[in-house]
Amino acid sequence: AQSVTQPDIHITVSEGASLELRCNYSYGATPYLFWYVQSPGQGLQLLLKYFSGDTLVQGIKGFEAEFKRSQSSFNLRKPSVHWSDAAEYFCAVGPGFQKLVFGTGTRLLVSP
């Protein structure tokens, strides 16, 4: 069965600084890979997804992620963080939506 690890529970970044959130997964084949963001009291919003093709994926709000098969990773990056990016970020992996497995999330705090 697939699994997802988000090793950082909390990350604090200064506004304007770069961001990288880590996601490692375990899966036998090339999975569907997603990053979702959740603001307090809200549902999850898709930031970006990877199914196949170019391993560098662009998403909304200036986010990007890179699929590295050799490292079983799908890290999320943003060159310059804004205060509005403070939220919880979830990585998800699976062979399809029916078997999607989510990580425990990384809470991003943005300091002024």
Partner 1 sequence: ETGVTQTPRHLVMGMTNKKSLKCEQHLGHNAMYWYKQSAKKPLELMFVYNFKEQTENNSVPSRFSPECPNSSHLFLHLHTLQPEDSALYLCASSQGLMDTGELFFGEGSRLTVL
Least distance in Å: CB of 46 to partner 1?
Answer: 5
Two tokens at 47? Answer: 């930031």
Does 49 interact with partner 1 (rule: CB under 8 A)? yes
What is the Cα–Cα distance from 65 to 77, expressed in whole angstroms? 6
DSSP category for residue 24: E
Does 28 interact with partner 1 (rule: CB under 8 A)? no
x/- letters, 87..106, toward partner 1 (CB under 8 A): ---x-x--xxxxxxxxxxx-
What is the Cα–Cα distance from 107 to 104, expressed in whole angstroms? 10
Can you give the binding site for partner 1, defined by CB under 8 A?
Answer: 4, 34, 36, 41-46, 49, 51, 90, 92, 95-105
